Structure 1
Amino acid sequence: MEFKNTLEFARELDKKDTLAKYRTEFNFPKVNGKEVIYFTGNSLGLQSNRSVDYVKEVMDDWANLAVEGHFFADKPWWDYHERFSSPLSKLVGAKPSEVTVMNTLTVNLHLLMASFYRPTQKKFKILCEEKAFPSDQYMIQSQVQFHGLDPKDTIVEIKRRDGEHNFRIEDILAKIDEVGDELSLVLIGGLNYYTGQVLDMKTITAKAHEYDAYVGWDLAHAAGNIKLELHEWGADFAAWCSYKYMNSGPGNASGCFIHEKHHNNMDLPRLGGWWGHNKERRFLMEPKYDPIQSAHGWQISNLPILSLAPYLASVEMFDEIGMDKLVEKRDVITSYLEFILKEVARETNANFEIITPSDPKERGSQLSVLLHGEGRRLFDYLMEEGVIVDWREPNVIRLAPVPLYTSYEDMYHFGQILKNGVKS
């Protein structure tokens, strides 16, 4: 498609956009009395009207039914989480039995590592990416120390080449070969939070399995953003948050994937709890733990229904649309944003460096831009003008045009504001 940096062209794209109607389902903050241009769905998605309705339903059931809501609400609370199985499995490319919802992201990664990080004297190393999101770094370090090991000897980081912003697949595969039979676990962010690069999860998973290592993926920035095929790729486990692209609300519940090949393996340790026990026998209060033979068997506590309500509203919206349509718009609107950025740079002689890969197959709804010679001043200007963007040191802004609620006209107006900010 040949793009044009004009309001008319942007509006024409919006007229043809089959997802444009969903924009009205979301609530936009306002700056100076006008709805913002919202580019931070990769940090916190906007609130949908559906999520408000779903939370109100739970609140009303609580008021009218109290404890009886567990069994007699329209959506009974005791099996509320099971409503996620079908729509969420489609979102991440899994079987319904392979997904569950519980806790929050880092908590779930800790719980999954209790099962899938079982170091021995010869097989104990963990492979991750350098400068992973801090929570992942701390989680992995503390897990290693929990097992009485030294992080310096245990954690192996994949490095970027000097002068490059993104990882090379050949370097990742070479590092797996280098660690070899000492490799116990690969745990990497499937979509890098800083650069927006999507890794070749299928190829990396297959390579690590050659050395009988487990493979887990942190999909915080991938779930609801890119097409995933976790079952087909053979990943052992994965976890993701729901408050970014899936718009479930601040700090909300996490999703988990555990491949079906592990469901019936009673030799695989897990940290158990009441809600992971055999559902048909749960209320018999038996003394011996009998985990459910699905991903639900990794649950511990009964679920926070008020947190799950907006998440359920969201996954049902995703199921209504389908990832294929979301990805189709995502690729076009992200490419249009890239075009706008380059046009502004050309017109103003600004030195913007887009560090996100240019290949749509290697990125999602995010462009990370190095503001050479601009820095925080330009970020502050954008925010004051109602363009909500994300800042990462030393001088990167992250822009995420989310297909559900971002318009092409937003891209055009952003370009005009950015141009004025560079000139000011």
Structure 2
Amino acid sequence: MAKDILHMTYENSLTFAQDLDRDDPLRHFRNKFHIPQLNDKDVIYFTGNSLGLQPKNTRVYIEEELEGWATLGVDGHFHSQKRPWFYYHKFSKEALAKIVGAKPSEVVSMNNLTVNLHLMMVSFYRPTSSRFKIMIEAGAFPSDQYAVESQIKFHGYNYEDALIEISPREGEYHLRTEDILSKIEENKDSLALVLFGGVQYYTGQLFDIGSITAAGHWAGAIVGFDLAHAAGNVPLNLHNDQVDFAAWCSYKYLNSGPGGVSGIFVHEKHGDAELPRFAGWWGHNESERFKMKKGFIPMSGADGWQLSNVNILSSAAHLAALEIYDEAGMEALRQKSIRLTGFMEYLLNGFNLGDDVLKIITPTDPAARGCQLSLLVSKNGKAIFEHLTRSGVVADWREPDVIRVAPVPLYNTFEDVYNFCEILKKVIF
């Protein structure tokens, strides 16, 4: 990352924010999205970490498939002019591979996130009497917590005995990489699976995926990641980092619609391995799929983990959003993200309120976070959040006292950041 991006000098003025927007090479991407309004004005939308905005081309993509269904019926599977439904899972591979740092054969779009986490653990959590423990970060998103709990119990192990949770040090809010690696080493003889979020949903911490994966492998464990808050937010390099598997959703930073289709990564070293899996007909050898023969023969790579035929309408929305990502490019988005989040951090630090009133609990190092800042508000937090909402700021409240704000580089502006901080300043003071 360019040094001037990481160490940019900011100014606290509307003019400065507007100058940054004028010089922003990605500024035209905002016009590709529908921005919600309040009182005939665009809201300041800082919840792309929960649900991304709708791209304007989404309607076009979905209506094309609706038209194909209306005019072709079942023949749309093979004769739809633009995107035959039989091959639909292939159309997102190139874009997804770029976003998560993988080979196209290692990724596939399918199902929903928690379903995919379970499918991955069926194959990659293979406990034995001596090696049966799963390590996660304390306070992981419930998708991870509940899936892990049920997998442990399904295999007949005691949840408390088999689960290892890593918490930050006393008085700290995010995990130190050295503490994670030390915990892995401490449990090297009993550890079966390390499963972390790529970005911690509550604090916004970006974990060191490469180091965690290397340590887990050294300990003899499988290493996987839930990338719900990382995919489309931060640069990823899953293939070179030797991650075993990953799963993510597409409705946050990937802007593919509420409940949108998920995706998985399976490293090529496992792509053709004889692993246990819950099989489905869409993962069966494509050339023989419609012969309806007994005996499951998985497709090569991540495709072999598919279960059912593709949800075409949801996947059409996904393709519409990926088209925008492909045009913008992750490197350019990351550069703007660092500037946007850095500008917000600069303005918030300028409040000089003290940690007992407002504290940013997201790492200060730009390399250890994405576009989210989590604000610990010690006094009247919920009232402040509700005032922000009434003022046209769409943020996210997390009990008991945190406001999460995510300035997304595809559609948020530096003026958005400045105006948000001005609104927050008025309500706090």
TM-score tier after normalising by the smaller chain length: over 0.9
Contact 2:271 2:301 survives alignment (8 Å): yes
Q: Deviations over 1:106-152 (max 9, x none)?
A: 00000010000011111111111111111211110000010111111
State the AA in 2 paired with 1:377.
A
State the AA in 1 paired with 2:422.
Q
Pick closer, same or farther for the CA change 1:174–1:272 going to 2, 3 Å.
same
Q: Deviations over 1:61-106 (max 9, x none)?
A: 1111111111111210010110111111010000010000110000
Contact 2:188 2:220 survives alignment (8 Å): no
Correspondence for 1:312: 319
Correspondence for 2:370: 364
Q: Do structure 1's residue 68 and structure 2's residue 75 form an aligned pair?
A: yes
Contact 2:52 2:256 survives alignment (8 Å): yes
Q: Deviations over 1:346-370 (max 9, x none)?
A: 3899831000001000000100011
Pick closer, same or farther for the CA change 1:6–1:215 going to 2, 3 Å.
same
Counterparts of 1:398 and 1:211 in 2: how far apart (Å)? 35
The CA deviation at 1:372 is 2.1
Q: 2:195 is paired with a residue of what secondary structure? A: strand
Q: 2:358 is paired with a residue of what secondary structure? A: strand
The CA deviation at 1:283 is 1.1
Correspondence for 1:194: 202
Correspondence for 1:376: 382
Correspondence for 1:274: 281
Q: How does 1:20-419 map to 2 (within 5 A)?
A: 20-73=27-80, 74-266=82-274, 268-343=275-350, 345-346=351-352, 351-419=357-425
Counterparts of 2:348 and 2:157 in 1: how far apart (Å)? 47
Counterparts of 1:396 and 1:377 in 2: how far apart (Å)? 12
Q: 1:128 is paired with a residue of what secondary structure? A: strand
Q: 1:230 is paired with a residue of what secondary structure? A: coil
Q: 2:205 is paired with a residue of what secondary structure? A: coil
**Unmatched runs of 5 consecutive residues or more in structure 1:** none
The CA deviation at 1:243 is 0.2
Counterparts of 1:288 and 1:350 in 2: how far apart (Å)? 63
Counterparts of 1:404 and 1:365 in 2: how far apart (Å)? 11
The CA deviation at 1:190 is 1.3
Q: Deviations over 1:2-56 (max 9, x none)?
A: 2112111111000110110010111111112211000000000000111111111
Superposition misfits of 4+ residues, deviation over 6 angstroms: 347-350
Contact 1:354 1:367 survives alignment (8 Å): yes
State the AA in 2 paired with 1:360.
P
Q: 2:201 is paired with a residue of what secondary structure? A: coil
Question: RMSD between aligned alpha carbons?
Answer: 1.2
Counterparts of 2:260 and 2:355 in 1: how far apart (Å)? 42
Q: 1:391 is paired with a residue of what secondary structure? A: strand
Counterparts of 1:349 and 1:235 in 2: how far apart (Å)? 37
The CA deviation at 1:322 is 1.0
How many pairs align? 421
State the AA in 1 paired with 2:411.
Y
Contact 1:45 1:249 survives alignment (8 Å): yes
The CA deviation at 1:340 is 1.6
Counterparts of 1:298 and 1:421 in 2: how far apart (Å)? 50
Q: 2:187 is paired with a residue of what secondary structure? A: helix
Q: Do structure 1's residue 14 and structure 2's residue 17 form an aligned pair?
A: no
Counterparts of 1:144 and 1:348 in 2: how far apart (Å)? 43
The CA deviation at 1:374 is 3.0
Counterparts of 1:53 and 1:219 in 2: how far apart (Å)? 28
Counterparts of 1:12 and 1:148 in 2: how far apart (Å)? 60
State the AA in 2 paired with 1:197.
Q
**Unmatched runs of 5 consecutive residues or more in structure 2:** 1-7
Pick closer, same or farther for the CA change 1:383–1:292 going to 2, 3 Å.
same
Which is worse superposed, 28-37 or 227-236? 28-37
State the AA in 1 paired with 2:111.
N
State the AA in 1 paired with 2:391.
E
Contact 1:368 1:398 survives alignment (8 Å): yes
The CA deviation at 1:284 is 1.2
Counterparts of 1:350 and 1:195 in 2: how far apart (Å)? 17
Contact 1:348 1:419 survives alignment (8 Å): no
Q: Deviations over 1:183-209 (max 9, x none)?
A: 100011111000000011100100110
